[in-house]
Structure 1
């Protein structure tokens, strides 16, 4: 079943196409390449071709550091829902390297993971899981309004505003 792109609260058209290691590079368009292929193709690809990267579990996101200013999209593969390495990859790309383009979760993305993925920096989701797609199409709200652990996500209340996180003032002796 083909993936559908979920972004900004709804399903949208996807202009990007995934290519494997052996698929020929087109002359134009927008393609997502595995990390190794991207690194070997970036210097020789036609200027009319937009390139993006697919990071798989075990790929080092630090390898993209010199290329981040040119990338508008990085896809992170979740080969199975129980593998959380993609969350760490997203945090490294956003916090350590300051990537602010589209960060897309691909693979085994489930409904209850989307709020957590958003907190790590993901902005788009390729949905292949039929029950997740049906729930999103039906308007299921994937936002969580209050978290117990702080994060740097825009719109969350700062740690100092959390009454349960405040330390009591020192009493005079």
Structure 2
């Protein structure tokens, strides 16, 4: 699948490992159920974990210093828990690695995902890159706080008025 980072397509060097499959060398993404097995590898590449929307990010607390990537999955559009997971990873657990999302993600959500701490989005093969880039450039002013190093305009306006 194509990987979108900072509004641009990027090569995705991560291999997703299914339950029951052998762990290959190189950069791998393992399900949460196989995290301990992945942590047991000896410098055979970078390690990431795939969290489903119902998984708790607290389950990663001890492993986060050894993880390079966390992939969050949107099972359906109505399930917004990956937004909360991304924000918790960045703000509460201080995760500095890559946070990527996959699954049912729409271009309209792209800026909001970035503001929650997401680094990259896995696009479907039939995705139109121009639509995603337009969504990335559509919002120039933010009114809510985010994990990004910025001052939201909403707070600045309130300070000027009151």
Please indicate, yes or no, whether the TM-score normalized by the shorter chain is above 0.5: yes
Shift in Å, 1:10: 0.8
Runs of 5+ consecutive residues of structure 1 not aligned to the other structure: 169-173
Q: What's the counterpart of residue 10 of structure 2? A: 12
1:79-98 correspondence to structure 2 within 5 Å: 79-98=75-94
Pairwise CA distance, 1:132:
4.5
Alignment of 1:67-106 (within 5 A): 67-106=63-102
TM-score, L = length of structure 1: 0.83
Flag the structure with larger Rg.
1
Which secondary structure state, in structure 1, belongs to the residue aligned with residue 46 of structure 2?
strand
Summarize deviations over 1:19-64 as a string: whole Å, max 9, x none. Answer: 11111111x1111011111134322x24213221001011111111
Q: Classify 1:158/1:66 alpha carbon distance in 2 versus 1 (closer, same or farther; 3 Å).
A: farther
Number of corresponding residues: 161
Q: What runs of 5+ residues in structure 2 fail to find an aligned partner?
A: none
Q: Distance in 1 between matches of 2:19 and 2:96?
A: 26
Q: Residues 143 and 154 of structure 2 are in contact (CA less than 8 Å); yes or no, is this contact kept in structure 1?
A: no
Aligned to 1:23: 21
Residue 65 of structure 1 deviates from its aligned partner by 0.9
Matches within 5 A, 1:19-168: 19-26=17-24, 28-43=25-40, 45-128=41-124, 130-133=126-129, 135-136=131-132, 139-143=133-137, 144-157=139-152, 162-164=156-158, 168=162
Deviation at 1:80, TM superposition (A): 1.4
Pairwise CA distance, 1:134: 5.0
- Report the Cα distance in structure 1 between the residues aligned to 2:159 and 2:50, rounded to whole angstroms: 38
Q: Confirm or deny: 8 A CA contact 1:108 1:129 kept in the other structure.
A: no
Q: Aligned-pair RMSD on alpha carbons?
A: 2.1
CA distance in 2, matches of 1:120, 1:34: 22
